[in-house]
Chain A
Amino acid sequence: MIWVDTLVQGILLGGLYALFAAGLSLVFGIMRLVNLAHGDLIILGAYLILVIVSVLGLNPFLAALVALPLMFCFGWVLQRVVLNRVLGEDILPPLLVTFGLSVVIQNALQEGFTSDSQRLRPGPVESASLDLGIVTVGVMPLLTFASAILVIVGLNQLFYRTALGRAFRATSDDPVTAQLMGIRPDNLFAVATGIAMVVVTIAAMYLGVRANFDPTIGPARLIYAFEAVIIGGLGSLWGTLAGGVIIGVAQTMGAAINPEWQILAGHVAFLVVLLIRPRGLFPRAQD
């Protein structure tokens, strides 16, 4: 019974990791950009929600709703002003600029909020649980997983059913010819990052409710997000969910054997998949 419980916890944890990863996957899919500050942006989102909670007295869910458009704008500006300049063939500039960005964000948060641990309190739902017969699951983890699925469904709809999604796919294929269609790649990429920041904010809320956060935990989230994307295969959002679940399950299983092994188990699972399926479990046909 313990193992079923551990498995379910792991799957639900995978939902959180999938939320971390979805934004990363989106941006990489459209503009081949890997943002090393992605984890720190999640933490930034968490702090933003925290501020809104303190200033407006809202509960974290509503605060997150308020934070969504703010984070969208932040992402839009970031891409338009800074990151658009580093897109291109050379791998060094985007890596180094986003690395620098990571350092700046972490230290800015440090200055603004000190390194004290923070937490978002949603009220009684935080510890509410649901009895499903074989297992009892927390309501928050369940909500997190459900949100991950909704986000992925939403993004896929956006990508494959809307004009904007067509524009994303076309620009990702061929930014020059896309201009002949009336698409402005600079603005389009900014919108993409804006959307990624919206997903990041959702992830931030669930992170902040679930666990303590402080300015330094960004890079670890980046690593989980990255591992989920690689395991799932570049270009597949459902693959990213699968990747998140695999990491989540590996972590909970590892923790069940020895609490010190939790994080290590996740990394080992990643390395094993990398070994046997270097392109991931559900890679896009062409990349």
Chain B
Amino acid sequence: MALLETRGLTAHYGDFQALFGVDITLEAGETIAIIGSNGAGKTTLMRAIAGLLRSAPGMVHFDGQEIGARSAADIMGLGIAMVPEGRRLFPSLSVEENLMIGAYGRKVPGPWHLDSVYDLFPILKERRHSPGTALSGGQQQMVAVGRALMSNPKVLLCDELSLGLAPVVIRDIYAAMPRILEGGASVVIVEQDIGQALKVASRVYCVMEGRVTLTGRPADLSRDAIHNAYFGAAA
């Protein structure tokens, strides 16, 4: 059985429906990517899985449990950690405190702790006492990733890691992916940067207007197919 699975996931913001029956699976140990243009529903999907958006029971399964109706704090405790879109570091906390709070709701032994996170992103150790928001965008993204890792999650949801960052910086962040996977986490990457997503993932889902329009292995998907799925067949 898949580690993480959504079945017919729907989500609403008030009266507005953002997801129309999305089916996603994530097997243990793999990395999947979810691509789509702005407003396609990628972040909504992440928030629904993470529990920030409550969905109906039966729509999200994790590690054999049904988690659709549970709170974000509960879900985090079970082992799903999110690197939120826009980093969202806590301005009142230092870099080190931002990292430490990542483990607030889930303290399990594992490969990730302050020292190993500093090992992964050495620049953070130098700036450990700076306020979280005083760092550059790329460094903040490193803090956000490290913060999520601190809970030794089974599933890591990465929402738009590359947003607002220079290509060089994006490469540095993604360079950490192999070690994250070695640590035992399975990863979901949400990206507008298709190239990066296809490089890292073993399977890809393309989302448009709240529906999955394409799925498969990166090698099997043609450029045209992706283009159509991303933007919609010529209107």
The answer to whether any beta carbons of A and B sit under 8 Å apart in the complex is yes
Query: Which residues, 157 to 174 on A, are CB-close (under 8 Å) to B?
Result: 163, 166-167, 169-170, 172-174
The verdict on A54 contacting chain B, using a C-beta distance below 8 Å, is no
A interface, how many residues as a size bin?
Answer: 10 to 19
Query: Is the Cβ of B91 less than 8 Å from the Cβ of A182?
Result: no
Give chain A residues whose Cβ lies under 8 Å from the Cβ of B102.
181
Min CB distance B185 to A, Å, is 15
Give chain A residues whose Cβ lies under 8 Å from the Cβ of B101.
163, 166-167, 170, 181, 183
In the complex formed, the residue of B with least CB distance to A29 is B92
Query: Is the Cβ of A173 less than 8 Å from the Cβ of B91?
Result: yes
Which secondary structure dominates where chain A touches chain B? helix
Knowing A163-B104, A166-B97, A166-B101 touch, does A179 contact B76 (C-beta < 8 A)?
A: yes
Knowing A166-B100, A167-B104 touch, does A180 contact B90 (C-beta < 8 A)?
A: no
A177 to B51, CA, bound (A): 11
Knowing A163-B100, A166-B101 touch, does A180 contact B84 (C-beta < 8 A)?
A: yes
Query: Is the Cβ of A182 less than 8 Å from the Cβ of B105?
Result: yes
In the complex formed, the residue of A with least CB distance to B51 is A179
Give chain B residues whose Cβ lies under 8 Å from the Cβ of A163.
100-101, 104
Min CB distance B199 to A, Å, is 27
Knowing A163-B104, A166-B101, A176-B52 touch, does A182 contact B93 (C-beta < 8 A)?
A: no
Min CB distance A167 to B, Å, is 6
A166 to B147, CA, bound (A): 13
What sequence of 0s and 1s flags, for each residue 69-108 of chain B, a beta carbon within 8 Å of any chain A beta carbon?
0011100110001101000101111000100111011100
What sequence of 0s and 1s flags, for each residue 32-68 of chain A, a beta carbon within 8 Å of any chain B beta carbon?
0000000000000000000000000000000000000
The verdict on B31 contacting chain A, using a C-beta distance below 8 Å, is no
The verdict on B188 contacting chain A, using a C-beta distance below 8 Å, is no
Query: Is the Cβ of A184 less than 8 Å from the Cβ of B81?
Result: no
Min CB distance B53 to A, Å, is 11
A177, A182, A184, A286: which contacts B90 (Cβ < 8 A)? A177
Using A177-B88, A183-B105, A184-B71 as known contacts, list a sample of 6 further A-B pairs with CB atoms less than 8 Å apart, ordered by residue number in A.
A169-B90, A169-B93, A176-B52, A181-B102, A183-B104, A286-B91
Enumerate the 8 nearest inter-chain pairs by beta-carbon distance, A residue then B residue, closest first. A182-B105, A179-B72, A169-B92, A170-B90, A177-B88, A182-B76, A173-B90, A181-B104
